Amino acid sequence: MNQLAKLQHTFQNSVLAPGTSISTAWISASGRATAETQLSIYSYAYKARLKEVLANDYPVILMAIGDDDFNQLTELYIEEYPSYYFSLRDFGAHLAVFISRLIQQPGKQSIKRQKILPWLYELALFEWSLGQAFDAKDAGLFSEQDMSSIPAEAWPELKFTLHPSVQRLDFEWNIVEIWQALTSEIPAHVNSVRGESSPWLIWREQLITRFRSMKADEAIAFGQLEKGHNFNEICEALTTIINENEVPMHAASLLKGWITQGLISSVK
């Protein structure tokens, strides 16, 4: 390791692990502040920038638990997931998983137990998914006119490609209602408990991020579409909850809705 590389490595370690007992002889003593103070400025700025990124990505998590607990949460997250990315856009990608693990690890309780509520994992997942949908790459959209040009005999084998922004999430808690209550100007009481799992779609329409719930029949059909199954296989899955004679028209109606909303990029 050459001298420059060694100096860079030492500086990096000093910023990432402040307080470690290493020599500071390599730091200029000509400044008004001590070597330790100079290093602490860089270390503080590094963490402050990462916390700012997380606050921008998860503003509703911040609202839900407050400044102090969010600060402690992000401190723990930065320790567990230091930034290895050239772009900070992906730095917060693991927060939902980290919160889930934190709920199950009573040892890490510098954050008050009551602040890390079970639904906080799903709220973080929802917030991250909204950002991912907005940032997803552009792609062409399959239109109703394109749909009408497909011959009837081709329909059974049709497979569908989702727009890159489309995501499906299944929530055990009233996450969207909690998110809406926290972001609303008018405070509202929300019961966090949901009786059963609720499937949701998230996608981007031009520059607007959309989300909506799905009923059981749509969730079944969409699950088949997600897996790359063809139209005939989607219809077969629907026969478990819909009269067989009604399935083809119902499946076509669901597909038309997905196309109209801009969820389908192509058909093959």
- The rounded distance, in Å, linking the Cα atoms of 164 and 266 is 11
Please compute the mean of the pLDDT values over residues 24-47 and round it to a whole number: 63
* 60: nearest Cα among 147, 123, 14: 123
Between 138 and 1, where is the model more confident? 138
pLDDT digits (tens, 9 = 90+) for 18-30: 655 566 655 666 6
Using left for φ > 0, alpha for ψ between -120 and 50, and beta otherwise, residue 59 falls in alpha
Q: Is the pLDDT of residue 100 over 50?
A: yes
* 115: nearest Cα among 64, 158, 152, 75: 64
Q: Is the pLDDT of residue 113 over 50?
A: no
DSSP single-letter state for residue 155:
G
Least confident of 162-166, 169-173, 185-189, 241-245: 185-189
Least confident of 41-45, 87-91, 125-129: 41-45
pTM recorded for the entire structure: 0.84
Residue 246 has a pLDDT of 96
What is the residue whose two structure tokens read 């119902």?
250
- The rounded distance, in Å, linking the Cα atoms of 143 and 146 is 5
Instruction: Give the Å distances, CA to CA, from 191 to 49, 64, 175.
Output: 35, 14, 10
Residue 35 has a pLDDT of 57
Contacts 24+ apart (CB under 8 A), 220-226: 221/251, 221/254, 222/168, 222/254, 222/258, 223/168, 225/160, 225/162, 225/258, 226/162, 226/168
* 164: nearest Cα among 199, 128, 202, 126: 202
- DSSP alpha helices (H): ranges in the chain? 3-16, 35-57, 59-80, 95-103, 120-135, 144-148, 175-183, 216-226, 231-238, 247-260
Confidence bin at 82 (pLDDT 50/70/90): confident
% residues pLDDT > 90 (the chain): 65
Q: Is the pLDDT of residue 220 over 80?
A: yes
- The rounded distance, in Å, linking the Cα atoms of 90 and 179 is 22
pLDDT digits (tens, 9 = 90+) for 119-165: 999 999 999 999 999 999 999 999 999 998 999 899 999 999 999 99
DSSP code per residue over 25-70: TTS-S-SSS-HHHHHHHHHHHHHHHHHHHHHHH-HHHHHHHHHHHH
What is the residue whose two structure tokens read 């963490």?
47
- The rounded distance, in Å, linking the Cα atoms of 69 and 82 is 19
Residue 88 has a pLDDT of 87
Does domain 137-268 bear CATH number 3.90.930.50? yes
Q: Is the pLDDT of residue 207 over 60?
A: yes
Between 34 and 145, where is the model more confident? 145
Residue 111 has a pLDDT of 57
> Are 159 and 267 spatial neighbours (Cβ–Cβ below 8 Å)?
yes
